[in-house]
Amino acid sequence: MTAFTPPTAAEAKVASILVVDDMEANRAVLARRLEKYGYSVISVDSGPAALARLAHAVPDIILLDYMMPQMNGIEVLHELRAKHETREVPVIMVTARAEGEATIEALEAGADDYVTKPIDFDVLRARIETQLAKRKDASQLKRANAALDERVTLRAMALADLEDELKQEIRLRQDLERQLSANPVPLAPAKASAGPISAPASPALAVLLSDMEARYDSFFAAVTSGRTPNLAQMADFKNLIARCRQAAGG
C-alpha cells in the first residue's frame, strides 16, 4: 500500500478527534500518528472520562475502543446516541480481528465505521476522511434546507400581505357600489333639463364652468355605462364644484 504523505501546514485540515482507549500505549501511538496527519487529538482512558469530556466539548470524530473496563465501547456508544449533542458525531469503533460479532454489534448500535487491530493507519485515515466528508455534506445540506425554508416563509408572508391588500380593495369597491345603488343620482334628466350653461360675467368663472361641464360629461358617461367612477375623479369633480361656487360668490 502506498505510504501516506503528510499534508503541509497550509494543506492540513484541522479536525478534532477524541481517542477513547484504556491502554496508554495505544493512545500514544494513535495520538502521535493522527497528529502527524494534521488532526487535533484528545485522548481519554475510559468510557466515563469520554462522556465527561464530551459534556464540555464535542469533537469531529470519536475513535472508540470496544474492550474497556468499567464501561465498554458499546455502552459508551449507546450513551452517545441517546444524547442530542453527540447523536450525529461520527464514531469509528476499534475492535480486534477475532471480534467479528463485536463489529456487527457496534454497527447495529450506531457506529459509523470500524477498524481492526493491529490498525492499518492508511485505512484508518481513509475512513476518518470519509466520515469527515459525510459530516460536511450533511451540514451543508442542513444549511441549504434552512435557507430554503426561510425563503419559502418569506414568500408565503409576502403573498399573505398581497392577499390582504386585494381583499381590502375589493371591500372598498363593494362599499362604493352599495352606496351608489342605495342613492342613485338622476344624472340624465338633470343634464337634459339644465340646458346650456350661459356665459357668466366673470372670465374665471367661465373657465371653471367649462371645465366642470367636461368633468360632468366624463362622470356621466361612467355611470350610465355601468362602470364605477374612479374615486379620485369623483373627489376632483366635487372640488371643482366648490371652486365654482366660491368664484360665483355662493
Q: Is the dihedral of CA 35, 132, 67, 46 positive or negative?
A: positive
pLDDT tens for the chain, residues 1 to 250 = 445 455 444 444 589 999 999 999 999 999 999 999 999 999 999 999 999 999 999 999 999 999 999 899 999 999 999 999 999 999 999 988 666 788 888 899 999 999 998 999 999 999 999 999 998 887 777 778 888 888 888 888 887 887 887 788 788 777 777 777 776 655 444 444 444 545 455 566 666 666 666 766 666 666 666 666 566 666 666 676 666 666 666 5
> 127 near 113, Cβ under 8 Å?
yes
Q: How far is CA 66 from CA 90, 106, 124, 144, in A?
A: 15, 8, 16, 36
Q: Return the C-alpha cell found at 89.
A: 458525531
Other C-beta atoms lying within 10 Å of the C-beta of residue 61? 24
Rounded Cα distance between 33 and 30, Å, is: 5
Q: Return the C-alpha cell found at 180.
A: 351608489
Domains of the chain and CATH, by start: 16-138 (3.40.50.2300), 185-248 (no CATH)
Number of Cα atoms under 13 Å in the Cβ half of residue 34:
27
pTM score, whole prediction: 0.55
